[in-house]
A and B are shown apart, each in its own frame.
Chain A
Amino acid sequence: MFLTNARSVISGSAYVQQRSRSRCVHLVKMAGSWWRVCGRWSTSCTSTNVSDTLRCFSGMSTGASGSGLSRASWSSGPGNERMPLLSAQTHSTALHLNPLIIRQNSRFLYPTLSCFCRATHSDVKLKDPFMLAQKDLKCLYDDIKKEMFVSKQELKHLCDYYFDGKGKAIRPIIVILMARALNIHSNQAGDLLPGQRAIAMISEMIHTASLVHDDVIDGSDERRGKRSINDVWGERKAILAGDFILSASTMVLARIGNSTVIKLLSQVIEDLVRGEFMQLGSKENQNERFKHYLEKTFKKTASLIAHSCKAVSLLVNSDPDVHEIAYQYGKNVGIAFQLVDDVLDFTSGANQLGKPAAADLKLGLATGPVLFACEQFPELHAMIMRRFSSKGDVDRAWEFVLQSDGVQQTTFLARRYCDEAIRHISLLRPSPERDALIRLTEIVLSRDK
């Protein structure tokens, strides 16, 4: 059923996106079989060092750009500053690499390692992305609140509730950095365009609206360290508040006055809902299940970032290749972000994430770490199918995951998506903002909350 679904999404979506979307599905497919490979490795290997892996990969990646992007590199400066991404004690997944398998899969997940090693903006220290975007972010929440015109006090209070400046604001940060990097790339002098700033706001608004609805669906009573809206005001009002935030965001969107941008972001709204529907079902077949998981992850998390990045690109540049860079960066970082989130559900203390540990398991959701663990512990299969609903399922599944290398495998996969994001963004002309976007991938990987 969901297969047909994916197909209909591809054929039915706005023509502008067809190209990027079909590629996304392709990537997802690739990752699906890649995961199988991962599973195979994990049973046999014990230790290796990453540089072996890297050498092996770069050997395989000749001419594997595959994306139709221009390969013109904007990198200046000597190639001496290596990306520190892969230097740490990565889990050893790569000892017995079968070159045939890698050839088949590496094209999409980790082409051209030379990208990773490419110099970043020469003399400039990698800027803290959060500092760099701070200036533009300062009034963001206030501006969002101003966009939500509500005459009555209580509803206004609900709508403002999560725009308290306590969130990570990761989406607006990415959008703003991307917009500035693209503006420099496109020789656009000066500040952010008003429309680009609006898209940063919209990205946070759509995200918040979906959080409010998700909390009702999941029955969560806590969010960002405070009681959830549904817990305080009840489910009915929470849903209406979410709807209102969404309508306010489409209002801002409409005022940008660009039909293509509207299409991009309305696609996000549809993806969010479809992703939520995908969470209702589980797949019997394990490969299907992983593909389903990645597709869901794209729709629920990455689509918003990818399309927002593309939207800020559209406003400053008319080159489809540049739009694609923005889109691919957003998509890959978005998926990595969610993969890490799924890992943190197992590794983070109860309070750090602002939600209880093993929350996903308790909701019946099998995320990356569980799916990887299931390779080593087939007992998990039955539990996944019954959505951890029997007594003791959650605890046992938790144990299995921690005993397995599911966490490491998922982290490794997240790293791959970040590498891919870096590869794309490196095609832009160097700028502090571009480098901040590169640095941001590290933060995505290393965050603990």
Chain B
Amino acid sequence: MFSLSRLSMSIRGQRTLSLFSSQTGPSNWSKVVSDAEKIVGYPTSFMSLRCLLSDELSNVAMLVRKLVGTQHPLLNTARGFVYDSKNNLQMRGLIVLLLSKAAGASHAAYDLLPQDMVSGIYPSQRNLAEITELIHTAFLVHRGIVNLKEWTVSDGPMKDMEFGNKMAVLSGDFLLANACTGLAQLNDTKVVEMISGAIGDLVQGIYYENSYNAEDGLSDGTDVASWEEQTFLSHGSLLANSCQAAMQLAKHNKEAQRLAYLYGKHLSLGHKLNSDLQPFVKSGLGELTPFSLSAAPVVFHRQIVGTERWHQQIQHAKTLRNQLDHTKLLAAVKSGKGVSSAVDLCCYHSNKALEAIQAFPSSEARSALENIASAVTKF
């Protein structure tokens, strides 16, 4: 317990630092999100707090200190548990809560009483929001498992990596197990089915998310259609299904469920496009933000210029030591239509999300959802 609070103390130090120094991210995104948080009352139902304060995770927090100074990814993920300005750790939960509130009280169910609602949200919906966050966090942790055979001694001691992996497996499993029990307590087998399906999608998405990112950039890439499919699995399915499940919990009809699903889906895709676009739309002369070769603008660019031309550009961007010069590659992508196509697609998804939410009655919560969907297209 003690160690955990110390961990968070040191991270809070970093947080203030990043608040003043960083200009990353869409400027009004944070404002949109923090405004929205006020609408849903309190953001969480304390499930994740219970997780964080459990013996198991405080044990992990204590042990993870051993990893300080190593390069195991778990360390960064653990920092993110406490505060993460870039990924908006609680964003998914917030959307679920806002949608629950926007959809309002149930008319179909006798066992759901309006007086049980807090700030217009049923307790089960709050639990669901929390479960969504738990699952998302669990996979942030499992994403960071290191393949030991790819690790060379020059990267650091093998023992640290083994230990880091062990901690990452255990803490990710712990979060997932808590999500499972939380899910069971919702007493709705349909919801369990939706969220299990989403977990399956998420795993498939993560499994393949880096397969197009081979360092030479020459592996047979993906086209935009399969990029969208892939991104839906890794970034959209969980939110889409959670949004639908929130409607199911309040016994809203199929149509409301469908619209909620669409909002979650399109918002996630728009959000991912926005973050993929960041390195390409920033005009600052500062240092280059690293980007992946499976980022949307690159994928568009490849498809537009064709495989042959793309191979030439990759060769051109290679340094003497066969490393990719990302600055050169960035310039190549920027010179083409890849970036503007990705922006167009981002706007398309933003509009689709806005469209889906229009069927809900006008309210403060709906406006917040509209603001969030619009903020996705601001760069």
| Contact B180–A235 (Cβ < 8 Å) | no
| Contact B197–A251 (Cβ < 8 Å) | yes
Q: Cβ of B147 < 8 Å from any Cβ of A? A: yes
Smallest Cβ distance from B180 to chain A, in angstroms? Answer: 4
Smallest Cβ distance from B221 to chain A, in angstroms? Answer: 16
Query: Which residues of chain A are near B213, meaning CB under 8 Å?
Result: none
Smallest Cβ distance from A317 to chain B, in angstroms? Answer: 20
| Contact B145–A235 (Cβ < 8 Å) | yes
- The residue of chain A having its C-beta at the shortest distance from the C-beta of B142 within the complex is A239
Interface string of A244-288 (1 = CB under 8 A from B): 101110110111111100110011011011101100110000000
Q: Cβ of A237 < 8 Å from any Cβ of B? A: yes
Number of B interface residues in the complex (CB < 8 A) = 44
| Contact B196–A266 (Cβ < 8 Å) | no
Known: A236-B146, A244-B203, A247-B199. A262 touches B189 (CB 8 A): yes
Q: Cβ of B185 < 8 Å from any Cβ of A? A: yes
Smallest Cβ distance from B49 to chain A, in angstroms? Answer: 14
Query: Which residues of chain B are near A270, meaning CB under 8 Å?
Result: 177-178, 180-181
Q: Cβ of B192 < 8 Å from any Cβ of A? A: yes
Q: Cβ of B116 < 8 Å from any Cβ of A? A: no
Q: Cβ of B174 < 8 Å from any Cβ of A? A: yes
Q: How far is the CA of A250 from the CA of B181 in the complex (A)?
A: 11
Query: Which residues of chain A are near B143, meaning CB under 8 Å?
Result: 236
Chain A residues touching B, majority SS: helix
Query: Which residues of chain B are near A259, meaning CB under 8 Å?
Result: 184, 187-189
| Contact A266–B181 (Cβ < 8 Å) | yes
Known: A234-B150, A267-B181. A219 touches B162 (CB 8 A): yes
- The residue of chain B having its C-beta at the shortest distance from the C-beta of A154 within the complex is B207
CB contacts between A and B, total, < 8 Å: 143
- Interface stretch among B165-173, B312-320, B345-353? B165-173
Scan residues 110-157 of chain B and give those whose CB is less than 8 A from a CB of chain A.
Answer: 139, 142-143, 145-150
Query: Which residues of chain B are near A5, meaning CB under 8 Å?
Result: 54-56
Residue among B59, B166, B180, B199 facing the most chain A CB atoms (10 A cut-off): B180
Q: Cβ of B176 < 8 Å from any Cβ of A? A: yes
- The residue of chain A having its C-beta at the shortest distance from the C-beta of B141 within the complex is A239
Smallest Cβ distance from B289 to chain A, in angstroms? Answer: 24
Q: How far is the CA of A263 from the CA of B146 in the complex (A)?
A: 33
Query: Which residues of chain B are near A262, meaning CB under 8 Å?
Result: 183-184, 189, 192
Q: How far is the CA of A99 from the CA of B65 in the complex (A)?
A: 51
Residue from A8, A155, A216, A247 within 8 A of B207 (CB atoms): A155
Known: A14-B184, A155-B204, A236-B147. A250 touches B173 (CB 8 A): no
- The residue of chain B having its C-beta at the shortest distance from the C-beta of A265 within the complex is B184
Residue from A254, A256, A273 within 8 A of B174 (CB atoms): A273
- The residue of chain A having its C-beta at the shortest distance from the C-beta of B60 within the complex is A277
Q: How far is the CA of A256 from the CA of B196 in the complex (A)?
A: 13
| Contact A258–B176 (Cβ < 8 Å) | no
- The residue of chain A having its C-beta at the shortest distance from the C-beta of B203 within the complex is A244
Q: Cβ of B193 < 8 Å from any Cβ of A? A: yes
Task: Give chain B's interface residues, CB within 8 Å of chain A.
Answer: 54-56, 59, 139, 142-143, 145-150, 162, 165-166, 169-170, 172-174, 176-178, 180-181, 183-185, 187-190, 192-193, 196-197, 199-200, 203-204, 206-208
Chain A to chain B contacts (Cβ below 8 Å), 20 pairs: A2-B55, A14-B185, A150-B204, A216-B165, A216-B166, A217-B165, A235-B148, A236-B145, A236-B146, A236-B147, A237-B207, A239-B142, A248-B200, A251-B196, A251-B200, A253-B192, A253-B196, A259-B189, A277-B55, A280-B59
